[in-house]
A and B are shown apart, each in its own frame.
Chain A
Amino acid sequence: MGVMACRISACLPVRQEDNPSQYLMDFVHEDHYAPPAIGESMFPNIQAHNVWQREHVMRRQIMETPSNHHPEVYALPRDHDVVPQTRLDPCEDLAFLLDKYRRDVSSLTGTFFFFFSFFLPAG
């Protein structure tokens, strides 16, 4: 199993003053994901209050760099922040369970336990 090297960094552009009359929750309606109409600027400045345009501005800035390893770019909706991922640590003692299981098998079948310690990997 390959382990994916993953590093998450967030770019927080300076916002212009919020206009409360619009786009407070622009991510909840699919209209705000629509591409711009004909005649509008394809790549407006980063402060544009449109999720689709904002993502394209950032994606263009990163994808135009000469590299074979482009990062994945996501534009989070407004008022969203990236939080570190929770790491799962199972609490079972697998080595103990496996050792007990092998000893029980050897006891019930009458075979010696050291056979398994030689032939099978530990843990």
Chain B
Amino acid sequence: MNRYMHPANQSMHRARQNSRMRDIQESQILLLELVTTEPTILQSFKIIESICLSQGIFCRIQGAEVSKPFQRFLDDHYLPFCRAAIRAMFTYGFVPWRTRRLGKGDEVPEVLPPGTFSWHTEVGPEEQARAPHSGHHHQHHQKKRRRSEPSEQPIGLDDDDSRLVIYRITPSAGGVREEDVSIYISTPPALDVSANSCLYATVPSPLSYLLTDYKNLREAQKRRSHADAWNTTARIVSTFKPSLRQVSSWFFWFLLF
């Protein structure tokens, strides 16, 4: 916030920021509800999965087909990972994933489930370092990024660090840390395109346009249900019109004498 701003403008700016943060929180809940329970979205995901993954995953190692146990291992662990990755691409615009260890000691990739983290976009670390006093309200916190290709990059740098805008996630479940999670970007991030919108500020997502319509549709369905409940419930409405004529005459004589 500009410290030379007029106090009235400062309070208005603060109220707008609070309103925006509440909208972002609400939009995140709406988006996760949408992609986990809404039938139309789930039907779309099913169609895309059936197009992309109905034949399974075929893998060759140095030109040779893999063994049947390894193929079964791929079907058991990598096929669900690909399904979750497709949904994450549409939900967040990126795939947040980490590795987990099986009981036999093998490591398999896992997409972070919905509801276990929050996310936002901000200026990338290199651009942030080039303009440290730009006055932008996003503060980049340095972290140890997990490197996707350790052999090609110097320590502490990532391919995405040179982007002008990057995705950042904040894990909120279990003991997962941000540096444990890798991000594969499928939709290039944008920076605050919904700021000061007359509709809603939303989390960055390829499906963010749907959120307002989805909310309006759900509210309209609720109002229709309430109206049906009102119209089909027996109740009696009465009016009360007191007959004051005789009272007034009685009071008139009382006052007269």
Contacts and interface: CB of A to CB of B under 8 A. Distances in A.
Nearest to A86: B237
A81 B239 contact: yes
B242 interface: yes
Given A20-B246, A102-B40, 12 more contacts: A24-B243, A79-B243, A80-B239, A82-B236, A85-B235, A90-B227, A101-B213, A104-B210, A108-B207, A111-B47, A115-B43, A120-B43
Interface of A is mostly: loop
B234 A4 contact: yes
B39 A8 contact: no
A68 to B, nearest CB: 18
Contacts of A104: 209-210, 213
Interface in B215-256: 216-217, 220-221, 223-224, 226-228, 230-243, 246-247, 249-250
B44 interface: yes
Contact of B238 (A82, A88, A110): A82
Given A101-B213, A109-B90, A90 B220 contact: yes
Contacts of B206: 108
Greatest chain B CB density within 10 A among A98, A101, A106, A116 is at A101
A45 B216 CA distance: 57
Chain B interface size, as a band, is 35 or more
Interface size grouping (class) on chain A: 35 or more
B44 A105 contact: yes
B214 interface: yes
B239 A83 contact: yes
B48 interface: yes
Contacts of A115: 43, 47
Nearest to B217: A97
B41 interface: yes
Given A94-B224, A105-B210, A120-B39, A87 B231 contact: yes
Nearest to B39: A120
Contacts of B232: 1-4
